[in-house]
């Protein structure tokens, strides 16, 4: 009893020590692109995102030692649930920012403060002296509130908390989830690894204990049962963790789809206003027409268009109409090719989004 009480008091003492004695560096932010600052008080800043990829930047010349300040901690509140954000970092000597010098994090439930704590010690490029940070808080329109952004030195409690947060990170269902699911991780490693180690070590220990206390026959008889029960408990443990993600998925899908009409739901399954553009095409192109397309290649625009537009269908040669969806004005060369063949604007949805006809 005394031993338990002592351990409890020790943990209690460690907690404030773990937090308060870490050296911390507060980071302030300024708008960089697709975002404007709409309010601030103390270390709390509110931004309004005006584009799909808002970026905010820290001051330059931070001169922070990445080798010692390996914990990133901040609070963030957004208007969409569970969407990813990304923190980019540039060290002294780096030419610029890049994905290899970044880490993804996950926002929490819309409208609620999410406490982000990331252990960067495992990141291969988090070293040297940090010059500047850039934050893409979320890829969505809306207001973003960021407060208490700090870089900290690690402590046992912070490591435990960041490991827990890593374990509980929501693996949001994406298109690739149909092929594989990463599963929860701790320290960048699958939790399964730790469970296997635990089961094997416990099994061997139990076997040794039974063998020493009783005999080989008893050990061989009881150890398999104990290991199987341990496996069952591990299964339930992983499953409960999976259940948390399933509940989050339901919350997210309910926010996205519940109460909408079928058309509105379909619009939510494609990026931007592409579905509205498809509906525009559907009402302007006669049924049975043969169409070609000029679409960006980074998403399944053509596949989706073919799916929604049938019985208007795509052809490789001699189309009657050309559907042009060029939101980033990057497909001019392809559009001009059709213009040279005699196609002109037949109907316009928005800038960069129209229908060509010969």
Partner 1 sequence: MTDLIKLIFSLLVPILMGAAFVSLFNPKKDKFQFLELSALSFLIGTGILTLEMLLLGMLKVRLDLQNILVVSAVVTLIPIIINFKNIKPGIPMIGPVKFDLTLLEVSALLAILLRIVFVLYESLVKPVIGVDAFVQWSLRAKVFYMTSSLSLDPSKAYFAGGGGDQAFYPIHIPLLETWIFNVLGYWNDALVKIIFPFFFVSLLIIFYYSIVRCSSRLFALIAVYLLSSLPMLLHHSTLEYIDMPMAAYFASAFIFLLQYLDTEDKNYLFISGILAGIGTWAKSEGMPLVIVPVLVLVFSHLFYKRDLVRTAGDIGQYIVIVLIFKVPWSLFNMIYKIPKNEWQRIEYDKVFDNLPRIPVIFGQFYSKFFFYGNWNIAWFLVVVVLAFTVWKKRDKRYVYALATMFLTLFAFFMLYYLTPSYRWLLDGTTLNRNTLVMMPILVYFVSYNMYVILSGKAEVKNDRK
Q: Does 234 bind partner 1 (CB under 8 A)?
A: yes
Which among 65, 44, 236, 51 is positioned nearest to 145, based on CA atoms? 44
Bridge partners of residue 317, in order along the sequence: none
Helix axes 216-257, 191-213, angle to 10 degrees: 160
DSSP E strand boundaries for 153-268: 185-186, 189-190
> Quick one: 111 or 183, whose CB is closer to partner 1?
183
Return all residues near 148 (Cβ < 8 A) that are at least 6 apart: 26, 43, 44, 73, 74, 75
Q: Does 310 bind partner 1 (CB under 8 A)?
A: yes
> Quick one: 41 or 179, whose CB is closer to partner 1?
179
CB 135 within 8 A of CB 85: yes
Residue 319: CB minimum distance to partner 1, A: 11
> Site mask, partner 1, residues 239-278, x = CB under 8 A?
x--xx--x--xx--xx-xxx---x--xx-xx---------
Task: Show the tokens assigned to 330.
Answer: 């990057």
- CA 134 to mean position of chain CA atoms: 16
Task: Show the tokens assigned to 35.
Answer: 């975002």
Subset of residues 162 to 201 that bind partner 1, contact rule: CB under 8 A: 171, 173, 175-184, 190, 192-193, 195-196, 199
Half-sphere exposure of residue 182, counting CA atoms within 13 Å on the CB side? 17
Region binding partner 1 by CB under 8 A among candidate stretches 1-9, 38-46, 97-105, 236-244: 236-244
Instruction: Please select the residue that binds partner 1; options are 96, 311, 342, 344, rule is CB under 8 A.
Output: 311
Q: Does 313 bind partner 1 (CB under 8 A)?
A: yes
Question: Judged by CB under 8 A, how many residues of this single chain contact partner 1?
Answer: 55
CA distance 6 to 61: 46
> Quick one: 15 or 233, whose CB is closer to partner 1?
233
Which among 294, 278, 303 is positioned nearest to 335, based on CA atoms? 294
Region binding partner 1 by CB under 8 A among candidate stretches 53-61, 108-116, 232-240, 329-337: 232-240
> Quick one: 100 or 246, whose CB is closer to partner 1?
246
User: In 3-state terms, what secondary structure has residue 121?
Assistant: helix
Residue 292: CB minimum distance to partner 1, A: 12
Q: What strands lie across the sheet with 321-325, from one edge to the other?
A: 313-314, 290-294, 321-325, 353-357, 344-350
Q: Does 231 bind partner 1 (CB under 8 A)?
A: yes
Which among 255, 270, 51, 252 is positioned nearest to 141, based on CA atoms? 51
Region binding partner 1 by CB under 8 A among candidate stretches 75-83, 121-129, 220-228, 336-344: 220-228
> Quick one: 19 or 199, whose CB is closer to partner 1?
199
Residue 233: which region, alpha, beta or left (left: phi > 0; alpha: psi -120 to 50)? alpha
Residue 265: CB minimum distance to partner 1, A: 5
Q: Does 212 bind partner 1 (CB under 8 A)?
A: no
Residue 222: CB minimum distance to partner 1, A: 11
DSSP E strand boundaries for 166-307: 185-186, 189-190, 290-294
> Quick one: 28 or 192, whose CB is closer to partner 1?
192
CA distance 308 to 290: 14
Residue 237: CB minimum distance to partner 1, A: 10
Binding residues for partner 1, per CB under 8 A?
Answer: 171, 173, 175-184, 190, 192-193, 195-196, 199, 224-225, 227-229, 231-232, 234-235, 238-239, 242-243, 246, 249-250, 253-254, 256-258, 262, 265-266, 268-269, 290, 300, 303-304, 306-307, 310-311, 313-315
């Amino acid at each position: 009893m005394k031993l338990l009480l002592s351990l409890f008091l020790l943990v209690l003492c460690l907690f404030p020590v773990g937090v308060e004695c870490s050296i911390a560096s507060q980071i302030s932010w300024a708008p960089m692109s697709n975002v404007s600052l709409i309010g601030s008080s103390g270390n709390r800043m509110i931004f309004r995102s005006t584009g799909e990829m808002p970026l905010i930047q820290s001051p330059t010349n931070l001169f922070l030692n990445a080798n010692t300040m390996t914990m990133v901690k901040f609070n963030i509140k957004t208007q969409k649930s569970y969407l990813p954000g990304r923190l980019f970092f540039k060290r002294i000597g780096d030419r610029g920012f890049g994905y290899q010098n970044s880490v993804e994090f996950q926002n929490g439930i819309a409208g609620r403060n999410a406490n982000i704590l990331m252990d960067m010690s495992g990141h291969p490029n988090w070293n040297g002296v940090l010059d500047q940070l850039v934050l893409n808080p979320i890829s969505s329109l809306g207001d973003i509130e960021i407060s208490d952004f700090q870089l900290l030195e690690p402590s046992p409690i912070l490591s435990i908390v960041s490991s827990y947060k890593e374990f509980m990170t929501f693996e949001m269902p994406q298109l690739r989830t149909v092929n594989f699911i990463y599963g929860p991780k701790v320290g960048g490693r699958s939790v399964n690894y730790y469970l296997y180690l635990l089961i094997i070590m416990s099994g061997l220990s139990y076997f040794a204990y039974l063998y020493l206390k009783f005999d080989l026959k008893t050990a061989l008889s009881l150890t398999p049962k104990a290991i199987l029960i341990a496996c069952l408990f591990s299964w339930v443990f992983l499953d409960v963790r999976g259940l948390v993600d399933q509940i989050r998925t339901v919350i997210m899908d309910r926010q996205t789809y519940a109460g909408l009409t079928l058309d509105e739901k379909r619009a939510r399954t494609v990026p931007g206003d592409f579905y509205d553009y498809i509906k525009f095409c559907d009402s302007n192109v006669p049924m049975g027409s043969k169409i070609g397309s000029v679409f960006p290649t980074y998403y399944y625009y053509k596949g989706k268009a073919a799916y929604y537009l049938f019985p208007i269908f795509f052809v490789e040669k001699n189309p009657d109409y050309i559907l042009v969806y060029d939101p980033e004005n990057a497909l001019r060369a392809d559009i001009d090719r059709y213009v040279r063949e005699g196609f002109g604007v037949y109907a316009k949805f928005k800038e960069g989004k129209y229908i060509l006809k010969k």
